[in-house]
Structure 1
């Protein structure tokens, strides 16, 4: 399951994920991502994981297909969590995207939000 955060504005997709993501979550998420990509070109992603346990098989398939189509449509990605596997997952993402990708611990949430929202010259 997911929820949009207050910081979800303009070219920033800011969401908190919990539990397991499934195809129904992606049926809502994908149109929002694609709309922002159409509107702004490259976007930023703040992905906060709280008690996140991964994906249902159908959700994982949706995620992988979306990521393959849009790997170069991100400027920056902030992955925020508190599990070792979430940090590893972040490292695995880097070779497949041109985005600047950083992992932050949940205790560094404010730092992650500042980083993802800072504008480049």
Structure 2
């Protein structure tokens, strides 16, 4: 489940992810992005993973169900989690054109915000 959090940066969608992503989460996120960034404004994502119940980066992406036009809008993707498996999946984001991704440990959330803002 996604929870959209208050963001420290107007160009960043902040999410807390609990358990598995669901279709209704994807719809809520799509509506949020449409309302705040339209179809052509770039944005970042700060995803804080908590209580992971089998969620992976791939599951997060599938759960978001952004079509290709959204991928063109992604700039930076920061992932904050305790799980080393999530760190490995975060590196996959570096292979998507135009997206820079980085993993931060759970206690490095402030460091993640600094990275995403610059």
| TM-score range relative to shorter protein | 0.7 to 0.9
Q: For structure 1, which runs of at least 5 residues remain unmatched after alignment?
A: none
CA displacement 1:40-93 (0-9 Å, x = unmatched): 7101111110112317xx976443x41643222122111111112101110112
Contact 1:10/1:36, CA 8 A, preserved across alignment: no
Q: Secondary structure at the match of 1:91?
A: helix
CA displacement 1:10-68 (0-9 Å, x = unmatched): 3210111111111111121111123333177101111110112317xx976443x4164
Distance 1:49 1:34 in 2: 23
Aligned to 2:30: 30
Aligned to 1:6: 6
Map of 1:39-54 to 2, 5 A cutoff? 41-53=41-53, 54=55
More displaced 10-residue stretch of structure 1: 26-35 or 8-17: 8-17
Q: Secondary structure at the match of 1:21?
A: coil
Contact 1:87/1:103, CA 8 A, preserved across alignment: yes
Q: What root-mean-square deviation, in Å, do the aligned CA atoms of Structure 1 and Structure 2 show?
A: 2.5
Distance 2:47 2:62 in 1: 18
Q: Secondary structure at the match of 2:49?
A: strand
- C-alpha displacement of 1:9: 5.3
Give TM-score scaled by structure 1 length: 0.79
Give TM-score scaled by structure 2 length: 0.81
Q: For structure 2, which runs of at least 5 residues remain unmatched after alignment?
A: none
Contact 2:79/2:102, CA 8 A, preserved across alignment: yes
Map of 1:32-111 to 2, 5 A cutoff? 32-38=32-38, 41-53=41-53, 54=55, 61-63=62-64, 65-66=65-66, 68-111=68-111
User: When you count strand as a share of all residues, which structure comes out higher?
Assistant: 1
